[in-house]
Amino acid sequence: MSEPIVYVLPHVDPSIRLVAPGYQVQQLHLTAWDRLAEAAARNPPAPADPAERALLAAAGAAFESQAHLAAQAALVALAGRAHRWPVRLRLDDLELATGSTESADDVLRAVDGLPFADECRQVAGPAIVWVDRDQQLPALAALARRITDPVTLAGPFARDHWPVLRTWLPPGSELVELAAHWESATAAPVRWLSRSGDGHAWLDTATAPEVGDAVAVPAGCVGLILGLAAADAGGVVTSNGDSVSWSAVAALTCRAPVLAEFWLAAPGETARSCMDSAARIAQADLPWRIAGCRPFHLTSSQWAGRPVPLLPQDATLPRGVRYAAADLSACQADLIRLLRRRGRLAPARTASAYLDLLRQAGEPALAPGVLAPGVLAPGVVVSKADGDFWLVDLAAARTIRLDPRIGTRLIDLPPGAPLPAAVVRLLAGAGVLTAQGGGQRR
């Protein structure tokens, strides 16, 4: 008897795959991403904007290099603009072109022209469909429009929102619990955001006892992700509201490689306090790597041991509860610039990006203002379009026009080659360099 099939719908981080013992897993999120990227590379769009043409040329040139995933992301983003898909795709995220994935009505309106239609047509038979994040909802809506036989849903998001999602599906559809976990698909298998329990390699968020007490890190840990909501002279507030001293954080970095994430706009935080926290995190004399920022999501009416005033909830598929969060739109670029003082940030919250950063964990951090020999970060390449030279950050899908004198010097440099000191000084604030070798420790 053949194993039952579990289908993983797009869109999910294209550097992870689902493992469900006892089941055959169809990784539709991986095949969809590969298909879209290959189609965009084979028949690239023709953007009118010179910066987009530079981005496209750079993506094509870097497609087989270490920037492979970032190049795919740039190509898919450009294809989406050209074809006017109802969704915008990034490596680790999906947004509706109109509306929000927290609204069932908005999601159901976004199925026409969805780029995942081919993958949705592959779901057949007595299917189990894995849905563990809101980014998969457009594909689920497209599938629900097509199928007539009952379907089974599994996964955390499906469980949390079953009363709404069941109304999309044919009568007789059901929800089941399924033991499964994610692991990296683009490198040696490492469990992503879950612990193995059997000694196999894993990368997960740090627990409160691991941060606050000198407990041993369980076997198989290749790194811990430490979510930070605030930082001051005395210590940090973690993303689950625990206050921890700097000495305890330092002790944690001695027990395991640590990646720090700054969770933006926690309850009670302001734009000013977030800037102050970012400065503290960037200046901390710790052998950690700063992965980047992510939005703070509140899951209950309590945080850090105190009640949080909540706003009215009108979302039918909420990711969390609503509260009066600080507006950081005006200072987000400055926040990122502060964190980049410690080196390259992850281009997206993907397993491959975090594992890549972990390989650098424990290296000396540069003190602000200290220049070391630098190289262009992975995914950053120099391109020429319409006679102009461009610095292209593939992972962020952004471009910087270069002075021709600089562009001429850089365009023929091989990947990883040291940059001239004068160029390092000019590009130091652009967030496109990574230090080569050591530097001055703080």
DSSP readout, 74-121? Answer: HHHHHHHHHHT-SEEEETTEEEESSS-TT-HHHHHTT-TT-TTHHHHT
pLDDT tens per residue across span 60-113: 776 655 567 778 888 888 889 889 999 999 888 999 999 999 999 999 999 999
Whether 366 has a pLDDT exceeding 60, the answer reads no
pLDDT above 80 (res 430):
no
pLDDT for residue 24 is more than 90: yes
CA neighbours closer than 13 Å in the CB half-sphere of residue 308: 23
Structure tokens at 126: 């007595």
Residue 62 pLDDT:
67
Q: How far is CA 173 from CA 126, 167, 294, in A?
A: 10, 10, 35
pLDDT tops 80 at residue 414: no
Report whether pLDDT(373) > 80.
no
- Band the pLDDT of 56: cuts 50, 70, 90: confident
Q: How confident is the model at residue 439 (pLDDT cuts 50, 70, 90)?
A: very low
pLDDT for the residue numbered 6: 97
At residue 237, the pLDDT reads 95
Residue-level pLDDT at 25: 97
- Look at residue 241 in the predicted model and tell me its pLDDT: 92
- Mean pLDDT, to the nearest integer, of 397-420? 84
Pairing verdict, β 243-245 and 202-205: unpaired
Nearest one of 362, 379, 92, 337 to 224, comparing CA atoms: 362
Which has more confidence, 396 or 172?
172
pLDDT tens by residue, 111-126: 999 999 999 999 987 8
Q: Domain map of the chain by residue range?
A: 5-175, 195-358, 374-435
pLDDT of residue 138: 97
> Residue 267: is its pLDDT beyond 70?
yes
**At 186, is the secondary structure helix, strand, or coil?**
coil
Distance CA 171, CA 164 (A): 13
Name the residue with higher pLDDT: 363 or 62.
62
Q: What is the pLDDT of residues 287-302, one digit of tens each?
A: 999 998 999 999 889 9
pLDDT at position 441: 34
CB 58 within 8 A of CB 410: no
Compare 272 and 127 and report the one with higher pLDDT.
Answer: 272
196-205: average pLDDT: 90
pLDDT in tens, 216-254: 888 899 999 999 999 999 999 999 999 999 999 999 999
3-class secondary-structure state, position 389: strand
* DSSP count for the chain of H helices, then E strands: 15, 23
Residue 382 has a pLDDT of: 87
Confidence class of residue 437 from pLDDT cuts 50, 70 and 90? very low
Q: What's residue 371's pLDDT?
A: 41
